[in-house]
Structure 1
């Protein structure tokens, strides 16, 4: 087990914030925003003031290696060896629920993000309405994604028959769910969903799905595919003489495709596709950090300056994770007591750099919602650039471009 500890105070720590992050493995590109935020906020985490008490703080980071089993061991090490009072995590369809389950079992407060709340609940073997005792999450719902995607489809006339390129795993099964998936939202808006057929990741052929796209006359495609799989589908559709007027895709396509793969052919294919996606954070969001007043634009600029890489949407959520943890430790009746911290999280309302978080008004216990905008990737000389093309459900976020069908 690899361990990285960010010692933010030389004195003996009385409180420990534990972090499970994908420092290595296939999710490592998505772990960079979290490790960057921890380093950037280290000066603000030297201590926590709780009433008239002052507590020194240590931040202990352990590598999930992008693997759920390793992630659970990381939690055990954080709790038993590092004596973590709260655990933070983000990223990973299998890894994130594994961390949350381990925290629930070990009775340590956990805060997570970047995962639709229905997937967070279902992947842990629960139904909406179930109240976890120790684990809390903030994100958006599948219904929120469906609404934003529908609004972008409707910028191209409509209503539409939309081809659904969904896998045979958790994402696909939830997106197909007649109660919690896309259908309740999209059908109410007049759209027809045509399932192109489940596929296994990673895919090596989409001929069947392309044929069904032709059969249903679907000019728009929606998906939750990986970068490589979506590029393969688009390539095979073009070779068959089909060109979707718009592709909306969540999950990996919320990140610039140049960040998640180095393959030039994938870059070219997805630049041509002009994929639209959900936007949960950007430099244009009008929020500030509750810790130091940093604006979204400031955070994105600093990340690009310090890393030489493009800003990523999880950057703001990683910052909000740390803000919320700091808030919980400063507001808990007893920040050394796990139950007291968990109780504080359950009643938290906080304005963060990712927006307002309110666990008292979530769609189900343990959840705080973030508002979504819609964006589209536009090719440019420095790589793909994300423009916000609809803000109907988040009117405070400025529109920065127009949707461009292919």
Structure 2
């Protein structure tokens, strides 16, 4: 547990549930850094005798849904958290949000498509959540960005779908809310052999279907390990796609599996980079300056979730500052629901989302390429939705 700024009267607690141990530990790095970096610089809320400092109390989710639920209970009970922030983990994040909903604690989260957040939790846009809010992109947004990159190969492609058999894969292929209908509407034929279990052991049947279906493009939502396995087995079986798009292996490309994907030219979605024209609502720090601070402090390359992690604390601070009563959780939740704020992740607007609990983050396209000093560097290759972001070049085709 990390406690920034000290507990006691005259403070308002923001709880952070962060995966610091377990299989998701690397995914906790951006939020852990931002908590340390911003902790002492968060604004004082209120005025006169009602001035209160914001403190941050962290709990480790241990990459486990049950531990994440316990972390929320401890933050609410022991720390008096007025709201909770979290990110990362397709099962851990919903566990945090659901527990906050049950306990009546405002929650702000980010990092995976809003459809997974809403429908994966049994939500209904007609009956919004009362306490929990999320900012991200949609599966439809991913499809638009990917299709734009596929069309650099040519129109109306046969695209192989390497999707798992879990919630993520089911939502991607969903005929109403998923990725598939948007891609089909642009004229592409999706070849979907069905879901595979994670971690994958043999993807030969998928590869054969893609080859027989004439797929010169493959799209995926695989882990780095499964994507590396696919890449290796595809080459062994004579399948060499001209373009490989992946919506999951995008934020942490520097692990052990990355070496196997060197030269694969994996294209991905981009929601944040040092090139984005975003600044902190707290102190005006630019995206480039945030990335530089992270690299200097950690000795590691910047990561896309860094901008979202920063925005989580911006939203928390703004909600506490604008709530009618920052000590009242209901008032804080209401403040999030009416929030529109220019942040390190762009302008987040909960008054104009696809559902009342969602603020959208725009996407552009990127492609991982071999770098001089790093295993991979992310080149920005399409910017239709954010033309103010400068590009590094065109989509490079392989195969």
Give yes or no for TM over 0.5: yes
TM-score in terms of structure 1 length: 0.95
- 1:294, 1:56 → 2: CA distance? 21
Q: Which residue is 2:382 aligned to?
A: 390
Moved more, 309-318 or 54-63: 54-63
- 2:178, 2:8 → 1: CA distance? 50
Q: Which residue of the other structure, out of 251, 254, 265, is the alignment partner of 2:250?
A: 254
Number of residue pairs matched by the alignment: 397
In structure 1, stretches of 5+ residues that fail to align are none
Matching of residue 310 in structure 1 with residue 301 in structure 2: yes
CA contact (8 A) 1:197 1:208 kept: no
**Cα pair distance change 1:256/1:99, threshold 3 Å:** closer
**Structure 1 moving runs of 4+ over 4 Å:** none
1:191-206 equivalence runs, <5 A: 191-206=188-203
Q: Which residue is 1:76 aligned to?
A: 73
Q: Which residue is 2:26 aligned to?
A: 29
Matching of residue 118 in structure 1 with residue 115 in structure 2: yes
CA contact (8 A) 1:130 1:365 kept: no
TM-score in terms of structure 2 length: 0.97
Matching of residue 161 in structure 1 with residue 141 in structure 2: no
Cα offset, 1:127, TM superposition = 2.8
Cα offset, 1:123, TM superposition = 1.6
1:41-80 equivalence runs, <5 A: 41-45=38-42, 47-49=44-46, 53-80=50-77
In structure 2, stretches of 5+ residues that fail to align are none
SS at match of 1:36: helix
Q: Which residue of the other structure, out of 163, 167, 173, is the alignment partner of 1:176?
A: 173
CA distances 1:12-45 after superposition (whole Å, capped 9, x unpaired): 4431000000011111111010010011112222
Q: Which residue is 2:3 aligned to?
A: 5
Q: Which residue is 1:139 aligned to?
A: 136
CA contact (8 A) 2:224 2:258 kept: no
**Cα pair distance change 1:184/1:50, threshold 3 Å:** farther
CA distances 1:142-174 after superposition (whole Å, capped 9, x unpaired): 000000000000111222000000000010000
CA contact (8 A) 1:9 1:46 kept: no
> RMSD of the alignment, in Å?
1.4
Moved more, 125-134 or 108-117: 125-134
SS at match of 2:263: helix
